[in-house]
Structure 1
Amino acid sequence: MILADDMGYGDARCYGYDNLVPTPNIDRIAKEGVRFTQGYVSASACGPSRFGLLTGMYQQKFGIQWNQDTWDDLKNGVEETLENNRIPEGQLLINQALSRAGYVTGMSGKYNLPGYPETTFDEYKWIMHFGGQYFPDENGHYAGVDESVARGGHKRILWGPEREGDIYLTDRLGDHAVGFIERHKDKPFFYYLAFNAPHSPMQAKTSLKPQVAHLKTEATKMYGAMLLSMDENIGKVLDKLDELGLTENTLVAFASDNGATFAYNVDWPENWPKELLGSVGPLRGNKGSNYEGGNRIPYLIRWPGKLPAGQVYDHAVSTLDLYPTFCAAGNADIPSSAHLDGTNLLPFLKGEKTGRPHETLYWYHDNSGCVVQGDYKLLVWQDKHWLYNLTEDLGEQHDLAKAKPEIVERLMRKYRSFVDPLPPPLNPAKR
């Protein structure tokens, strides 16, 4: 399971939009598998999105609405551990469910979940809470990585490395994944490759400058180079599976944790413009919003032994679906104590089931949210609402609320049925 960080819907060349740089290995997953045109996350910010992905449950149901709900101590100042945390008791993570089925599990990259820097995976290395420095300091340490402080600081390093021989963090993550696959090639395994690229801080390899020279601004060039490095490391994983003869029997999924974002100004030159890094393609909005540009992401699944190559799937799916889909692929029982809001996608992709995997999908945080059902999307902010037909108006430019009040009423009932039972956010004071 491969996850990018803040990669826009239009950034992968296989989606056919702005495509700042080539993404041949991401495109290979699409060519040899399934490309989803309406793939969603459960939140347009990294923390809650990753909680939803790994628990398979709408994270709002246990108080995770936004990033600030993921990083503070529990009530009464209780420090979280792997055993005592904000995830509901009995709600095993996807890797824990697969462990019960005999899979050895591994991870590298951005975690966001309780227990940092420890995880529930059997093997893990180069773990971040929210982000990390892409180049090491003089002691070989990457700020924000494998350290007790969950939100490590960053210093300005634009193009690097500063010292010969220093290894770029994205390469570290890819190498750990490849090493894990090599070590466990003879047994069932599950690996979660959770890139922090192309998230800020903007730090890229000098060797890639010629490949991004066509891009207009310095920040965009760095973003493009960070995408190139991530794609290269995805290629390492795919090539290792080929080398070991495991490709046909290995399910590979790729997604982003949310849409493209404006770069965080982490000690960078003042004359750099504040610009949207990456592309949302034809969509409106970006990370942090409930427009499609925040929640709709590149979403691919490849399983050559089981799924037809080159399939394009147009119905709405969610990263919540990856938990039951991976468990079905691995013959892993869903824990009886777990509540999953996702759907096993395999029967739909194999043609064994028709129709939509989801009647309705929901989003909510801080008096803002939306609901998608069929062609229509109702966007809600406080006491205001807007209605869009996503099939006819993917860019969400034409509000149909006044023209179609009956659809507004129907979707508002759906929306309230999701929102009204939710508990309060875990950190209501930090809004």
Structure 2
Amino acid sequence: MQKQLLTAFLVVTTSVLYPQSPAPNILVVLTDDMGYADLSVHNQEADVRTPNIDRLARSGALCTAGYITAPQCIPSRAGLLSGRYQQRYGLDHNGTIPLPLTEKLIPERLKDAGYATGMAGKWHLEPNHQQEEWIREHLPELAEKKTFVPSDIPDKMKRAYRSDRRGFDDVFEGYINNYLTNYTLAGEDKETSAENIPDYRLDIQTEAALSFIRRHKEEPFFYYLSYFAPHVPLEAPSKYLDRFPGEMPERRRHCLAMLSAVDDGVGRVQDLLAELGLTENTLVFFISDNGAPLKMIKEDITLDFKGGAWDGSLNTPFIGEKGMLSEGGIHVPFVVSWSGTIPAGQRYDHPVSSLDVAATSLAAAGLPTAKELDGKNLLPHLNGTTTSAPHKYLFWRFWEQIAVRSGNYKYLRVGGREFLFDVTTDEHETNNLLGEHPRKARKLARKLDRWTQSLKNPGVPGNPNQSETQWYDFYFPKTED
């Protein structure tokens, strides 16, 4: 009885703070390897054009200090969907483990409140051949192998980890043309199966979202639109490429074209919500999963090279790139919009995190707070109920790097190198303040070290790997004392 009364109280309280009827729809749009500069409302690069995402930002809050939990796709996505630091369950980087089946994800939680759930696009949270830790535990017969290939992992072992087994009712999971689907773009149910769709990957992912919204317009829904862009391989049809004529690196042109396709998709989703009368009853997040991979010198390698290379995106004005705990790797585009609930036209400067998507979604849906979540409910911060910052500390541990942000300051350590930055200044990570504020640095270092003791694999990182050494020597050249 006490639990029932508490739940009823929370639902009533939530309805007063966020008056909507019925429960709000929730849409999470996630891009892949999109840098901070490539949202035109940030006014960093003159060649990028994202008018529809800009419109979304102007309808709510443009979060200028938006962060993800890792500068790499698998841990970043795991942190967002679980609402917990992914290091708590041992998913520190791509080469560790898949998203554990013991973690309860946002769609699973929202189903408890009667939500229809769906996703389209990149998933990437099932077992893969780079996850040596998981392979050696679950496939001991492969213990003698030094390297693994995708075929080493049986499909039947991956199946439980796919999106339709992790709380998503309707799925259109895929990257380019091959999709795991259980509904059609025309909005009809179908048996779950693999399907090849001969169209442009980003248009497919947009159409899947539009189909889902039409299917579930009469009930509250949660949709995860995970665009595979501007991640390599770079490709775009002429209808998007022709928008960016003139001299520029071809990788840049293709990146801009792909982001223009994403922008068109976001615009079409907004237009459909308006047509259905759902705009004021839909909470929307727009976030990138990490910063752009610049490969340091942004080499314009020919597009027939499909592997890891600069994707044409930019992290201006920040230092570093994907794979680093510098701002260029983890400080990303971040928009939150809910017309009529979150006042329009905001530039919100306090640090926010992708961890906050889960906590905010649960609060908006009227569900009780889940104490195990690391994120915060952003709604009282964005609607003016409180002026305090959502987070006192944000933490990171990735490969052999470790960092914490508190207020204006960020402490970063890789190997024996330490940095303290005021990331709110124009100098951000070009001015190491370690010598000026040693006590602040020590305080943040102690806080960070204590946080690492709460993780599945406790402790601080050791010696940087080859990539980290090259990056930090390039972006943070050592100076003589």
Please give the range of the TM-score, normalised by the shorter of the 2 chains. Answer: 0.7 to 0.9
Alignment of 1:106-145 (within 5 A): 106-114=118-126, 115-116=161-162, 118-128=164-174, 132-133=175-176, 136=177, 142=178, 145=179
- 2:281 corresponds in structure 1 to 249
For the residue of structure 1 that corresponds to 2:119, the secondary structure is strand
Following the alignment from structure 1 to structure 2, what is the Cα–Cα distance between the partners of residues 266 and 330? Answer: 46
- The aligned amino acid for 2:320 is G
Alignment of 1:166-205 (within 5 A): 166-205=198-237
- 2:100 corresponds in structure 1 to 86
Which residue of the other structure, out of 48, 65, 72, is the alignment partner of 1:45? 72
- The aligned amino acid for 1:381 is V
For the residue of structure 2 that corresponds to 1:411, the secondary structure is helix
Question: Which moved further from structure 2: 28-37 or 205-214?
Answer: 205-214
- 2:194 corresponds in structure 1 to none
Kindly indicate whether residue 403 of structure 2 is the aligned counterpart of residue 370 of structure 1: yes
Kindly indicate whether residue 418 of structure 2 is the aligned counterpart of residue 418 of structure 1: no
Deviations 1:247-301 (A, max 9, x none): 011111100000111379998447x996462121211111110110100001001
- 1:299 corresponds in structure 2 to 334
- 1:240 corresponds in structure 2 to 272
- The aligned amino acid for 1:17 is Q
- 2:362 corresponds in structure 1 to 327
For the residue of structure 1 that corresponds to 2:110, the secondary structure is helix
Structure with the higher helix share, 1 or 2: 2
Following the alignment from structure 2 to structure 1, what is the Cα–Cα distance between the partners of residues 108 and 62? Answer: 27
Kindly indicate whether residue 43 of structure 2 is the aligned counterpart of residue 31 of structure 1: no
Which residue of the other structure, out of 112, 115, 118, is the alignment partner of 1:103? 115
Alignment of 1:303-382 (within 5 A): 303-335=338-370, 339-382=372-415
- The aligned amino acid for 2:120 is S
Following the alignment from structure 2 to structure 1, what is the Cα–Cα distance between the partners of residues 301 and 169? Answer: 31
Following the alignment from structure 2 to structure 1, what is the Cα–Cα distance between the partners of residues 310 and 216? Answer: 43
- 1:151 corresponds in structure 2 to none
- The aligned amino acid for 2:365 is G
Moved beyond 4 Å, runs of 4+: 263-267, 272-276
- Per the alignment, do residues 389 and 117 of structure 1 end up closer, same or farther by CA in structure 2, a change over 3 Å counting? closer
Deviations 1:95-153 (A, max 9, x none): 1111100111011011122413644244333313xxx33xx4xxxxx3xx439xxxxxx
- Per the alignment, do residues 281 and 322 of structure 1 end up closer, same or farther by CA in structure 2, a change over 3 Å counting? same
- The aligned amino acid for 1:340 is L
Question: Which moved further from structure 2: 392-401 or 363-372?
Answer: 392-401
Unaligned regions of 5+ residues in structure 1, if any? 72-84, 137-141, 148-164
Kindly indicate whether residue 85 of structure 2 is the aligned counterpart of residue 58 of structure 1: yes
For the residue of structure 1 that corresponds to 2:355, the secondary structure is helix
For the residue of structure 1 that corresponds to 2:425, the secondary structure is coil
Deviations 1:386-428 (A, max 9, x none): 1111122454011111221101110111110112332339xx9
Which residue of the other structure, out of 74, 79, 96, is the alignment partner of 1:69? 96
Following the alignment from structure 1 to structure 2, what is the Cα–Cα distance between the partners of residues 217 and 267? Answer: 10
Deviations 1:222-271 (A, max 9, x none): 1111111111111111111000000011111100000111379998447x
For the residue of structure 2 that corresponds to 1:340, the secondary structure is coil
Deviation, 1:167, is 1.2
Following the alignment from structure 1 to structure 2, what is the Cα–Cα distance between the partners of residues 219 and 103? Answer: 40
For the residue of structure 2 that corresponds to 1:10, the secondary structure is helix
Following the alignment from structure 1 to structure 2, what is the Cα–Cα distance between the partners of residues 205 and 416? Answer: 48
Following the alignment from structure 2 to structure 1, what is the Cα–Cα distance between the partners of residues 338 and 456? Answer: 38
- 2:294 corresponds in structure 1 to 262
Following the alignment from structure 1 to structure 2, what is the Cα–Cα distance between the partners of residues 273 and 57? Answer: 28
Following the alignment from structure 1 to structure 2, what is the Cα–Cα distance between the partners of residues 227 and 394? Answer: 28
Deviation, 1:69, is 1.7
Kindly indicate whether residue 315 of structure 2 is the aligned counterpart of residue 280 of structure 1: yes
TM-score, normalised on structure 2?
0.75
Any conservation in 2 of the 1:324–1:344 contact (CA below 8 Å)? yes
Following the alignment from structure 2 to structure 1, what is the Cα–Cα distance between the partners of residues 250 and 374? Answer: 41
TM-score, normalised on structure 1?
0.83
- 2:7 corresponds in structure 1 to none
Any conservation in 2 of the 1:348–1:354 contact (CA below 8 Å)? yes
- The aligned amino acid for 2:454 is P
- The aligned amino acid for 1:279 is L
- Per the alignment, do residues 274 and 52 of structure 1 end up closer, same or farther by CA in structure 2, a change over 3 Å counting? closer
Following the alignment from structure 1 to structure 2, what is the Cα–Cα distance between the partners of residues 94 and 339? Answer: 13
- Per the alignment, do residues 368 and 221 of structure 1 end up closer, same or farther by CA in structure 2, a change over 3 Å counting? same
Rg larger in structure: 2
Deviations 1:56-108 (A, max 9, x none): 0000111111111245xxxxxxxxxxxxx625x3x410111111001110110
Any conservation in 1 of the 2:76–2:289 contact (CA below 8 Å)? yes
Alignment of 1:214-229 (within 5 A): 214=246, 216-229=248-261
Deviation, 1:19, is 4.6
Following the alignment from structure 2 to structure 1, what is the Cα–Cα distance between the partners of residues 273 and 455? Answer: 42
Following the alignment from structure 2 to structure 1, what is the Cα–Cα distance between the partners of residues 311 and 201? Answer: 23
Deviation, 1:166, is 3.6
Following the alignment from structure 2 to structure 1, what is the Cα–Cα distance between the partners of residues 109 and 247? Answer: 44
- 1:400 corresponds in structure 2 to 433
Following the alignment from structure 2 to structure 1, what is the Cα–Cα distance between the partners of residues 97 and 308? Answer: 30
Any conservation in 2 of the 1:10–1:19 contact (CA below 8 Å)? no
Percent of residue pairs bearing the same amino acid type:
38
- Per the alignment, do residues 70 and 210 of structure 1 end up closer, same or farther by CA in structure 2, a change over 3 Å counting? same
Following the alignment from structure 2 to structure 1, what is the Cα–Cα distance between the partners of residues 272 and 337? Answer: 15
Any conservation in 2 of the 1:108–1:194 contact (CA below 8 Å)? yes
- The aligned amino acid for 1:309 is A
Deviation, 1:320, is 0.2
Any conservation in 1 of the 2:251–2:303 contact (CA below 8 Å)? no
- 2:240 corresponds in structure 1 to 208
For the residue of structure 1 that corresponds to 2:361, the secondary structure is helix
Question: Which moved further from structure 2: 276-285 or 173-182?
Answer: 276-285
